[in-house]
Amino acid sequence: MEKSKPTWNHPGGKLIELGPAALTDEELLAILIGSGYKGRTAQDIAKELLDNYYSIAGLMGKKLTDLAKIKGLKDVKVVRIAAAFEIARRVLKAFEKA
């Protein structure tokens, strides 16, 4: 029996087809980043972020100016990442209170 080929070729498509739990940290960050720039994909930028800060948790404590030092991360993309981390913090805080 031949295994069917995935219908996605980017992290957003993979999320739609397989669900968010199937994505790597790099792929999830790439979705937040949205797009890359000439010669570099959002996933390339996400990989550099994780290489520099070791993990999603390592990114959480960084200042916006630290993240903006990565080529391809301008204000809007950094703000998206910061907003996602703040949402995560608030969810964790709500669970701690419960």
Give the distance from CA 53 to its chain's centroid: 13
85 has pLDDT over 70: yes
- Percent above pLDDT 70 for the chain: 95
pLDDT above 90 coverage of the chain, percent: 56
Query: How distant, in Å, are the alpha carbons of 23, 30, 32, 45, 77 from that of 42?
Result: 14, 5, 9, 5, 10
pLDDT at 3: 63
Dist. CA 50–CA 56, nearest whole Å: 7
Residue with tokens 């029996």: 1
CA distance 84 to 44: 19
Domain 11-97 in this protein, CATH class: mainly alpha
So what's the pLDDT on residue 32?
94
pLDDT at 59: 87
Domain boundaries, the chain: 11-97
Listed in order, strand segments (DSSP E) in the chain are none
Q: What is the mean pLDDT of residues 4-31?
A: 89
